[in-house]
Amino acid sequence: MRVPRLKKISRLFATISISILVFVLLSFLASPAHSTFKESQNFAVFEEVWQTVNDNFFDPKFNGVDWKAVREKYEPSVKQAKSIDEVSVVINRMLSELNTSHTHFYTKFDTGYYQLLGIFNAGSWKEIKKFFPNGNLEYTGIGVFTKDINGKTFITAILDGSPAATGLKVGDEVLAIDGNKYQPIQSFVDKADKKVEMSIQQTPDPKSIKKITIIPKKLNPNTVFLDAMRTSIEIIKRDGIKIGYVHIWSYAGEQYQQLLEEEIADGKLKDADSLILDLRDGWGGATPNYLNIFTEKVPIMTQVRRDGTKSTLDYQWRKPVVMLVNNGSRSGKEILAYGFKQYKIGTVLGTKTAGAVVGGRPFLLKDGNLLYLAVVDVFINGERLEGKGVIPDIEVPFQLEYAQGKDPQKEKAVKVLLEAVRNGELNKNLSNFLTSTHADSASNSDHSEGDLSGFAEGVRSK
């Protein structure tokens, strides 16, 4: 009869042992030793970032900044940081001292972290396997860009075809996700293909607060921007005129230019009378030669088959075009905007670009976080656009807060193109009329140059 008693004693000792283990673990987590360990980890990240900048920043004079003094300035703040979020804030304050674009510290809680890894094809990097064993850089999200203004979070852009495109609008204030503060990554962890409740405010009136259901999904940074670009393509019909529209969210790769050329040659944009090229927000990456698509001095190719059917492939855009830009148009997109203005290809419309024109490179740090760093300075025709940006031909302000999805810049672009197409048709008709009238006047002396001049002036005045 002693066996049951021994079992009870064994269970008692087992329970006590587990309790002691839990107590010891909790004591360690709360102990100065553990705190010191975390602080040393945080400081190690800080040091690695500082050293990487010291060794790789494009300007050996650090844009006029005493980089060693900057380190001493921010060391105390890093030592007081309790989490990687707090470390991130301190590091980015330090990096801001360089006053240079393409220079930012990203953690795994930033969408930019995954997007940059996708842009630079990090899935094929050997070192990425440590943090993404299968090389899959997917993250769960809803496809929005946001901006904090006076402590409030507003949606600045929505990727076409993303979950957010079904119920959210640019200008909405994001209040909460499932009752908690909105965070770009953490709010959607383990919630792919599941319903989440989003609290938003659409106008300054608190009565406009409402809750909507949205379903996040896995987003692949290698394909998400190309998919959004393809989905954005549309034909806007006004007064019998067809205006093509495409939003190029990222230009970091030839696949975006290739899609544009295909759509112009044999896709939705082929029969459009004019084009809106939207380069607002997202990422840069474009190279100057992408403007060659707007060069008219390229022959048009027509193919004739055995049965006599013909097909014409023209990869050049020869009709009116407007480029949309804003403060979110950065890097290579700014180079295109500069060229658009410089060579009078078309009208640049919107607000001044970001002034972020240097060359950046991502550095994957030992703990898996990411430093994006300016490693190359850039000049366009001898001019440095960094810190300056490109001022559009037509400036159209955009009030983001509570915009309710209205897009005055896109609307203005439509009006500009409608006028350009109409003027083009009038000029063409006038040219035809002048040619035919000149031919008639050779055989009919009743026609006078005075009458013809009056007609021409009348056409121009419309």
CATH number at residue 176: 2.30.42.10
Same domain, yes or no, for 182 and 276? no
CB atoms within 10 A of CB 190: 7
β pairing state of 241-247 and 234-238 = antiparallel
Strand order through the sheet with 370-377? 104-106, 370-377, 358-364
Q: Is residue 207 part of a domain?
A: yes
CB atoms within 10 A of CB 90: 21
Q: What is the pLDDT of residue 212?
A: 96
Same domain, yes or no, for 295 and 411? yes
- The CA dihedral of 340, 160, 405, 212, to the nearest 10 degrees, is -160
Identify which of 455, 420, 458 has the alpha carbon closest to the alpha carbon of residue 436: 455
Same domain, yes or no, for 37 and 153? no
Same domain, yes or no, for 290 and 416? yes
- The amino acid that residue 379 corresponds to is F
β pairing state of 321-325 and 274-278 = parallel
DSSP 288: G
Length of the chain: 462
Are the beta carbons of 372 and 107 closer than 8 angstroms? no
* Residue segments in the chain with a per-residue pLDDT below the cut of 50: 1-4, 6-10, 12-26, 28-30, 33-35, 37, 430, 433-434, 437-462
Q: Is residue 67 part of a domain?
A: yes
Q: Is residue 412 part of a domain?
A: yes
Q: What is the pLDDT of residue 29?
A: 43
CATH number of the domain residue 234 falls in = 3.90.226.10
Same domain, yes or no, for 197 and 234? no
Please give the tally of structural domains in the chain: 3
How far is the C-alpha of 362 from the C-alpha of 355, rounded, in Å?
A: 20
Residue linked to tokens 């949205």: 214
Same domain, yes or no, for 331 and 257? yes
Q: What is the pLDDT of residue 269?
A: 97
How far is the C-alpha of 58 from the C-alpha of 56, rounded, in Å?
A: 6
Same domain, yes or no, for 101 and 41? yes
Which 3 state secondary structure label does DSSP give 234? strand
- The amino acid that residue 298 corresponds to is V
Same domain, yes or no, for 89 and 35? yes
| pLDDT tens digits along 211-253 | 999 999 999 999 999 999 999 999 999 999 999 999 999 999 9
- The amino acid that residue 112 corresponds to is G
Q: Is residue 7 part of a domain?
A: no
Q: Is residue 452 part of a domain?
A: no
Which residues are within 8 A (CB) of 402 and not within 5 positions of it... i.e. 6 or more apart? 171, 172, 173, 201, 202, 203, 204
Identify which of 213, 226, 289 has the alpha carbon closest to the alpha carbon of residue 263: 226
Same domain, yes or no, for 181 and 329? no
Q: Is residue 56 part of a domain?
A: yes
Same domain, yes or no, for 337 and 362? no
Are the beta carbons of 93 and 70 closer than 8 angstroms? no
Q: What is the pLDDT of residue 16?
A: 43
Phi then psi for residue 330, to 5 deg, are -135, 160
CATH number of the domain residue 41 falls in = 3.30.750.44
Can you say whether residue 121 is alpha, beta or left, with left for phi > 0 and alpha for psi between -120 and 50 degrees?
left
Question: Of 219, 250, 266, which residue is a domain's last?
Answer: 219
Same domain, yes or no, for 152 and 232? no
Q: Could you tell me the residue range of the domain that residue 369 belongs to?
A: 23-138+358-379
Are the beta carbons of 411 and 350 closer than 8 angstroms? no
How far is the C-alpha of 251 from the C-alpha of 291, rounded, in Å?
A: 12
Which 3 state secondary structure label does DSSP give 134? coil
pTM, rounded to two decimals: 0.84
How far is the C-alpha of 134 from the C-alpha of 128, rounded, in Å?
A: 9
Two tokens at 6?
A: 């021994």
Q: Is residue 393 part of a domain?
A: yes
How far is the C-alpha of 345 from the C-alpha of 336, rounded, in Å?
A: 10
- The amino acid that residue 330 corresponds to is R
Same domain, yes or no, for 65 and 75? yes
Identify which of 139, 132, 88 has the alpha carbon closest to the alpha carbon of residue 114: 139
How far is the C-alpha of 250 from the C-alpha of 280, rounded, in Å?
A: 10
Q: Is residue 61 part of a domain?
A: yes
How far is the C-alpha of 166 from the C-alpha of 152, rounded, in Å?
A: 22
Positions of E strands within 190-328 = 196-201, 209-214, 217-219, 234-238, 241-247, 274-278, 301-304, 310-313, 321-325
Two tokens at 99?
A: 């006053």
